[in-house]
Amino acid sequence: MRYQSQAVAKPYFIAAIGLFVGQVLFGLIMGLQYVIGDFLFPAIPFNVARMVHTNLLIVWLLFGFMGSAYYLIPEEAETELFSPKLALLMFWVFLVAGALTIVGYLAVPYAALAKMTFNDLWPTMGREFLEQPLLTKLGIVVVALVFLFNISMTVLKGRKTSISLVLLMGLWGLAIFFLFSFYNPSNLVLDKYFWWWTVHLWVEGVWELILGALLAFVLIKVTGVDREIIEKWLYLIIAMTLVTGIVGTGHHYFWIGTPEYWQWFGSVFSALEPIPFFMMTVFAFNMVNRRRREHPNRAATLWALGTGVMAFLGAGVWGFLHTLAPVNYYTHGTQITSAHGHMSFYGAYVMVVLTMISYAMPMMRGRAANSDKAQVMEMWSFWLMTVSMVFITLFLTAAGILQVWLQRVSATPLGFMAAQDQVTLFYWLREISGLVFLVGLVLYIAHFFVGGASRKAA
């Protein structure tokens, strides 16, 4: 660690990992409700478990992005953070607001929460991923703006590199496109149309800039490859991302009331979206092969390579699988969507945050890398989580194909619930894979506490 203020990243990373555990536990609850329908009913209905699961995911990734930025920006800008105090203050604001929101979901019926938080004045709740009460949404905006102010000021007073510029653009974009979550017209079609300007333009737009910048940073550090080369790749990758991904939004405008020409725009552009993900994989392997130094943190290198591969599989391959309109006509809103949602979020955003943590955490603890014993355990957790996520995806895909066949293709279509009864086996297998994922996550946390001779800080 070169600058004292980089250390504010630490509480952000710890909170991120803590919330990650909560996310997975609620995933397992839902996975069980898929096969034992009345499990924990009426204490935790499925929809409540789901908003806890997905909102914890988003919030912990935001903690991860912010922590990563606080670590990366001072080092790139070659100056101390503008205000470490502000960063710490925002940490507590965000953590308390997040915790209160989750408690609200679990403690009272959602309709009561809506009433308590004056949703009637400006209704924004009750939409997928955007379930947060208005006050929480405003809190997110405030935290994001203060955070952006802090890191932007740091860049302004220091060295301006392409990596920090790309990261800043991604993070500013994140805040700007979140503003669409405040727009909720009575017309469902308009609501859905602009809902995607938050959701799609996040994960297939500005978040990919964050992804690329973080990956580029870690690759420079662990491979020692020339910055000019890495930054050239970075610009090319994010150019392809936005050239394909912006109009690629159209793959969500096939069946929600929007005109038919979207079937062409959406299919063609989104079919090209795997290209930047493929470039990211090639980029990561290429840089590691051309490395100019042997960095002692081999676990961080593994996470970086894994991010490239799994983001390509989850977003690129599983995205392409259902993105062409004639295919999406049958797969829209099925377990195939869920399969893709899991592997893409894990492969791209979970893994890139874990890559950053893997690289930065030892530095913040005063060493270049953890002991061999700790690294071996971290690599075990990498494989357990990654392989079990592959299996979760495969089982959900199998369930999805059967569901589509039974319910939508067959000459004598089954009703939804009857079709679900036919695919129970795959839901059990998904739940077992989920338990293995949890074991991997526990091991991941355990590796922080493994001692042994660590490598000296470079």
Partner 1 sequence: MSQAFTKSMARNIFFGGTVFFFLLLVALTVDTMQVLPKRDHRENITPSVARGKHVWERNDCIGCHTLLGEGAYFAPELGNVYQRRGGEFIKAWMQAMPTKAPGRRQMPQFNLTPEELDDLVAFLKWSGEINTAKWPPNIEG
User: By CB under 6 A, is residue 253 in contact with ligand HEM?
Assistant: no
User: By CB under 6 A, is residue 131 in contact with ligand HEM?
Assistant: no
- Least distance in Å: CB of 118 to partner 1? 12
- Least distance in Å: CB of 335 to Fe ion? 17
Distance CA 298, CA 15 (A): 24
User: By CB under 6 A, is residue 434 in contact with ligand HEM?
Assistant: yes
- Least distance in Å: CB of 243 to Fe ion? 15
Site string for ligand HEM, 37-66 (x = CB under 6 A): -------------x--xx--x---------
- Any idea what the Cα angle at residue 203 is, between residues 287 and 283, rounded to 5°? 10
Pick from Fe ion, ligand HEM, partner 1, none: which does 409 bind, CB < 5 to 8 A by kind? partner 1
Distance CA 98, CA 136 (A): 8
Distance CA 393, CA 385 (A): 12
Distance CA 347, CA 264 (A): 28
Q: Side chain identity at 47, as an amino acid letter?
A: N
- Least distance in Å: CB of 92 to ligand HEM? 25
- Least distance in Å: CB of 13 to partner 1? 29
The structure tokens listed for 211 are 């992804």
User: By CB under 8 A, is residue 447 in contact with partner 1?
Assistant: no
The structure tokens listed for 77 are 């800008």
User: By CB under 8 A, is residue 38 in contact with partner 1?
Assistant: yes
Contact 403, 420 (CB under 8 A): yes
Residue keyed to tokens 């500013």: 172
Closest CA relative to residue 230, chosen from 3, 76, 2 = 76
Q: Which residue is nearest to Fe ion (CB)?
A: 200
User: By CB under 8 A, is residue 83 in contact with partner 1?
Assistant: no
Residue keyed to tokens 């014993």: 373
Closest CA relative to residue 33, chosen from 22, 44, 24, 20 = 44
Strand boundaries in 48-119, DSSP class E:
none
Pick from Fe ion, ligand HEM, partner 1, none: which does 329 bind, CB < 5 to 8 A by kind? partner 1
Distance CA 128, CA 126 (A): 7
Binding segment for partner 1 among 95-103, 140-148, 299-307, 408-416 (CB under 8 A)? 408-416
- Least distance in Å: CB of 225 to ligand HEM? 25
- Least distance in Å: CB of 407 to ligand HEM? 14
Distance CA 125, CA 119 (A): 7
- Least distance in Å: CB of 113 to ligand HEM? 20
> Of 255-284, which residues contact partner 1 (CB under 8 A)?
255-260, 262-263, 265
Nearer to partner 1, 32 or 100 (CB): 32
The structure tokens listed for 40 are 């924990």
Distance CA 111, CA 8 (A): 38
DSSP string, 132-148: S-HHHHHHHHHHHHHHH
The structure tokens listed for 187 are 């017309």
Nearer to partner 1, 194 or 448 (CB): 194
Q: Which residue is nearest to ligand HEM (CB)?
A: 319
Contact 6, 70 (CB under 8 A): yes
Binding segment for partner 1 among 70-78, 137-145, 376-384, 405-413 (CB under 8 A)? 405-413
Q: What are phi and psi of 57, to 5 degrees?
A: -55, -50
Binding segment for partner 1 among 46-54, 60-68, 290-298, 346-354 (CB under 8 A)? 46-54
> Of 179-238, which residues contact partner 1 (CB under 8 A)?
184, 186-190, 192-193, 228-229, 231-233, 235-236, 238
Which parts of this chain interact with ligand HEM (CB under 6 A)?
Answer: 24, 27-28, 30-31, 34, 50, 53-54, 57, 128, 203-204, 251, 270, 273-274, 311, 315-316, 319-320, 322-323, 328, 332-333, 337-338, 340-342, 344-346, 348, 350, 431, 434, 437
